[in-house]
Amino acid sequence: MHNRTIIAVTGLVVLLGLLAAAGCTVPTTPQGTPAAGSTSGSTGSGAPNGVTGAGNLVTSPTDVIPDYQGVTINVGEKDYLGVIPVIFQGGKGQIQVKSIAVTLYRADGQIMTATIGTDKGDEADLQGTKQTDRVVVKVTMITGQTYTTNDVLSAYRTR
């Protein structure tokens, strides 16, 4: 009986340590974050660390979200005006979603950001170019964990 108690307490201490360490690595949201469904952008290259617009058009692998936290965000097809719809479709983990951030890396080097609400069907329409742009979607859970759910290239439709 005494060994079970020691093992349980040790496991609890390790679990709490892991949770504390995970919480310490979450970036804070700056003041003035755009409201849900709104967008903001920058002019010029707008790229961090001196990366050019072309360098931002390379996709990266997305994160694997645990099944119980699974959510779906659809990055729609770019329309004839270059508008890219991004829609939150919900999922098992919908109640655990704290925020959804969308970043558009435009072919002309501009970077635009938007936030999507946490209700199923919430949407942001991003003004892309009439070239290939990159869309990255990051979902932050109430635990503070952030997952990259989408990292896709959005090509302009041609006839």
Per the domain annotation, does 43 fall within a domain?
A: yes
In a domain, 60, yes or no: yes
Please answer whether residues 34 and 115 qualify as being in contact, where contact means their C-beta atoms are separated by less than 8 angstroms: yes
Residue 23 placed within a domain = no
Write out the residue range of the structural domain in which residue 100 sits. 30-154
Q: DSSP of 134-152, one letter per residue?
A: EEEEEEEETTS-EEEEEEE
15 located within any domain: no
Q: How far is CA 96 from CA 41, 75, 118, 143, in A?
A: 28, 21, 9, 8
Does residue 37 lie in a domain region? yes
CATH code of 99's domain? 2.60.40.10
- The pLDDT score that the predictor gives to residue 157 is 78
Instruction: Please calculate the CA angle 34-36-111 and round it to the nearest 5 degrees.
Output: 50
Token pair recorded at residue 99: 């925020």
pLDDT at 118: 95
Give, for all 159 residues of the chain, the pLDDT tens digit: 666 666 666 665 665 555 555 554 444 333 333 334 444 444 344 444 434 455 689 999 999 999 999 999 999 999 989 999 999 999 999 999 999 999 999 999 999 999 999 999 999 999 999 999 999 999 999 999 999 999 999 998 776
Domain count, the chain: 1
Q: Can you give the pLDDT at residue 21?
A: 55
What pLDDT, on the 0 to 100 scale, is given for residue 30? 35
pLDDT of residue 154: 94
The per-residue pLDDT for 36 is 40
pLDDT score for 24: 47
Output the pLDDT for position 33: 34
Domain assignment present for residue 20? The answer is no
